[in-house]
Chain A
Amino acid sequence: MTRLTEKQLIAKIRGLKQLKPDTSWVILTKENIIGKEETSLSKWAWFFTGERFVFNHKLAFSALTVLIVFVGVFGFAQNSVPGDSLFSLKKITEQGQSYFVSAENQSKHNLELANKRLDDLTKIATKNEVSNLAPAISEYEESVGKVVQGLANNENSYILNELATEIQKLGEKEEQVKSLGIEIGQNEELNSLLADIVGKEILDMESRELTEKETEVLNSVKFEYEQGNYSKALEILLLK
């Protein structure tokens, strides 16, 4: 055999570089030893779901879960309408809020609630949820009852001014609901109360000396009053 030069011998030895481990074995071994590479997301996922975290903070974890469920249910309840199982929860929230409303603003708050009930009614009519109609109408009537009660106890003209916008909205929404084919009945109590308030205001104006503009307003109010449009008459009176 011919004698190899040192260069040839070294080249032969260097050929051993081709000896390589199987790539899949290399990856698998790395995973087994060091563990899979974690993304920032999976790292956080471990933090929240890892056994150690749960067991170390068992009490806090259960309290947090209850709180999340509670907030979730309350949040979901705010979209409910009369007739839904979660509506009672929504009502409790609203009642809770009314405790924090001052006596002076109670009438305005009641009117806002009546407006909300009309919104619910519109929603129900739009979605054609027939089974929810009766409870929604009854809820609306109940809220209007509260409005009447509040207004009867309130003779403050400053507050009445504040209520004008809400009463106007209420009237517009009532018309909208009626246009959807829903009969919500006449609110006799509210009408007679409004008639009473407007009547008193007319007498008051007639007993005073009026400017030309005030006389014009009085005439318009009297016209609407005679037509039986008491809410419209009140609007003109309060927005003068």
Chain B
Amino acid sequence: MSDQRKIFTQIYDEHIDKIYRFIALKVNSQDIAQDLCSETFVRAWKCFNENKKIDNPQAFLYQIARNLVIDHYREKGRTQTIQVENIPLIDETVDLEERSLKNSDLNEIKAVMANIKPEYQDVVTLHYVEDYNVSEIAEMLNKSEGNVRVTLHRALKSIRSKIEEV
């Protein structure tokens, strides 16, 4: 396997779950999430193969994914109201009762996440789900660290209020 291919395989393996989650929390179907996710990696591989300079692969992937989601909604002329309940959660090992409790909890948070601002979705997903620190997120989203902290604070407040509305 060529070095180029080997490096990209490693990038793919490290980021596929994260990018999929990032997209899945923004769109309303598993099929669309898969399509946009694979398109993200196709575009990244193309750039990578053309030896284009990519300083931060993860920031680059998130940037492509974000743009694809924006294009998707632009094309469909949809509003920001997104339903993500039909994206299955992959955890077949827990028993049915536990799974149903967990699923109801997760479906609740998924629904809430789908109804907050996209900029809130980005920071919350990257920080609490993918465990990136503030400076990493700032670099990825091309924002200042202070801006990320403020956005995070507002995002949590928004999620809490949405949950309490239910």
CA A15 – CA B110 in complex, angstroms? Answer: 10
For the complex formed, measure the closest distance between the CB of B84 and the CB atoms of chain A, giving whole angstroms: 9
Is residue B38 contacting chain A, with contact meaning CB distance below 8 A? yes
Is residue A9 contacting chain B, with contact meaning CB distance below 8 A? yes
**A20–B109 contact, CB under 8 A?**
no
For the complex formed, measure the closest distance between the CB of B54 and the CB atoms of chain A, giving whole angstroms: 16
**A17–B105 contact, CB under 8 A?**
no
Interface size on A, residues (CB 8 A): 27
Complex: chain A residue closest to B108, CB-CB: A12
Q: Is the interface of B mostly helix, strand, loop or mixed?
A: helix
With contacts A10-B128, A20-B20 known, is A15 near B45, CB below 8 A? no
Is residue B59 contacting chain A, with contact meaning CB distance below 8 A? no
With contacts A15-B102, A15-B106 known, is A34 near B45, CB below 8 A? yes
**A6–B156 contact, CB under 8 A?**
yes
Q: How many A-B residue pairs have CB under 8 A?
A: 94
Complex: chain A residue closest to B129, CB-CB: A16
Q: Is the interface of A mostly helix, strand, loop or mixed?
A: helix
Instruction: Write the A13-26 contact mask toward B (1 if CB under 8 angstroms, else 0).
Output: 11111111110011
**B25–A19 contact, CB under 8 A?**
yes
Is residue A52 contacting chain B, with contact meaning CB distance below 8 A? no
Is residue B5 contacting chain A, with contact meaning CB distance below 8 A? yes
Contacts of A1 in B (CB 8 A): 163-164, 166
Interface with A: B8-16, B60-68, B69-77, B137-145, which one? B8-16
**B160–A9 contact, CB under 8 A?**
yes
**B5–A34 contact, CB under 8 A?**
yes
**B1–A18 contact, CB under 8 A?**
no
**B163–A18 contact, CB under 8 A?**
no
For the complex formed, measure the closest distance between the CB of A165 and the CB atoms of chain B, giving whole angstroms: 60
CA A98 – CA B45 in complex, angstroms? Answer: 65
**A19–B24 contact, CB under 8 A?**
yes
Which interface residue of A14, A15, A35 has the most chain B CB atoms within 10 A?
A: A15
CA A15 – CA B21 in complex, angstroms? Answer: 12
Is residue B125 contacting chain A, with contact meaning CB distance below 8 A? yes
Report which of A15, A19, A21, A38 forms a contact with B1, defined as CB distance below 8 A. Answer: A38
Is residue A30 contacting chain B, with contact meaning CB distance below 8 A? yes
CA A35 – CA B6 in complex, angstroms? Answer: 11
**B5–A35 contact, CB under 8 A?**
yes
**A16–B113 contact, CB under 8 A?**
yes
CA A114 – CA B98 in complex, angstroms? Answer: 91
Contacts of A26 in B (CB 8 A): 16-17
For the complex formed, measure the closest distance between the CB of A133 and the CB atoms of chain B, giving whole angstroms: 60
CA A9 – CA B156 in complex, angstroms? Answer: 8
CA A22 – CA B34 in complex, angstroms? Answer: 9
CA A16 – CA B105 in complex, angstroms? Answer: 10
CA A37 – CA B33 in complex, angstroms? Answer: 25
With contacts A34-B5, A34-B9 known, is A20 near B129, CB below 8 A? no
> Which residues of B from 87 to 122 have beta carbons under 8 Å from A?
87, 89-91, 102, 105-106, 108-110, 113
Closest 3 CB pairs of A and B: A21-B20, A13-B128, A20-B90
